[in-house]
Amino acid sequence: MLGFFLSVLCTTVGCGPSATGGFDDKGYQHTKFDYRVDAARASDPGISNGNLLGSNWKLDNFYHGETNSLVQKSSESYRTEYDFDTNDDGKADFSQEDFLYDLRFKHLKRDAVIWLRTIPISDDEKDKDLRVLLQRYVDEVSGAGFEKVKLGPTTTMIREKRFAARIVDRGPFKLAEQDAYETTFDVANVDDVAINPNARQFRVRIVLARTPFEYTAKPRRGNGLKHTNYAVVMLAGYANLPEDFATDEQDFQQMLDHTVIGGKRGSTALVLETSPSGIAADAKAPAAAPLVPAGSPSAPAAPVSAPLESP
């Protein structure tokens, strides 16, 4: 969640997370994890100010501080909280606050967003098939919206509007030579679907990748708990109105192509599973299943274990 200075994350009430990333004249550098996102145009003077995707996109999760340097936004909408169960008794032993996004961009002309996140994931989930984890992500969209789905060691959920989701395509992927999986799905508000079954509010593309990184959970001193390391997944997302999706998807693809993990870059889509009428959110359901909200009589059961967290 994305120059970064390493410091102990404060977990006391009222103390926010420490900055985790920043910009140089080539692009964005995460300083806790060994990855960066380079700009497509190396000569652009705005790169150090976060202009990675071109003039149509505004860097949203940073602002210019008192010295005019870029500072990560730490207001409620840009923070998240991870709950860690270190002894596996089903109860959170401590919580740790962190930034929700490494990078988040808003389109200046269209209703589009692009985001990038690095997320700790519990030992029970780290070896799960990425297809399964992304399916869980889609299932959770109904409760959290497509940016703030929870993946990993956390129980805090954001419950606002209720959404319905239907997968359009999905398949294995390579991101900076790391194993990944991608899916594109349509999202609609449940109330709109009740009136018009063909209603769509957004189309969303998500890429979920394994990484070689470790996230250190640091409990407060004196509580007898030890620091614990968790595997990390990288989640990149793009959302837009369905009619504008293809127009701006190239900018999201550009970000993927310029993501560098451990010195390796590039992205490769493998064989996508597609269906003209959409793939059902539940892999066992018929391919042409309509959009249905989680919790409805016709919806698949929600997973019991803690889901991946998105923006």
The percent of residues in the chain predicted with pLDDT above 90, rounded, is 41
3-state secondary structure 255-308: HHHCEEECCEECEEECCCEEEEEEECCCCCCCCCCCCEECCCCCCCCCCCCCCE
Digit-coded pLDDT (tens) for 155-189: 433 344 567 788 899 999 999 999 999 999 988 87
State residue 284's pLDDT score. Answer: 33
State the chain's mean pLDDT as an integer.
76
pLDDT score of 113 more than 50: yes
Q: How far is CA 216 from CA 85, 227, 260, in A?
A: 13, 7, 22
State residue 129's pLDDT score. Answer: 95
pLDDT score of 130 more than 80: yes
Pairwise CA distance, residues 292 & 229, whole Å: 37
| DSSP letter assigned to residue 224 | S
CB atoms within 10 A of CB 308: 25
CB atoms within 10 A of CB 250: 9
Q: Which of 141-150, 185-194, 200-209 has the largest mean confidence?
A: 200-209
Q: Average pLDDT in the 261-280 region?
A: 77
pLDDT band of 193, cuts 50, 70, 90: low
Higher pLDDT, 155 or 100: 100
pLDDT band of 196, cuts 50, 70, 90: low
Q: Average pLDDT in the 231-250 region?
A: 96
CB atoms within 10 A of CB 140: 25
pLDDT score of 118 more than 90: yes
The single residue listed with the structure tokens 């300083």 is 31
As beta bridge partners, residue 265 has 260
> Domains plus CATH for the chain?
103-309 (3.40.1000.10)
State residue 8's pLDDT score. Answer: 22
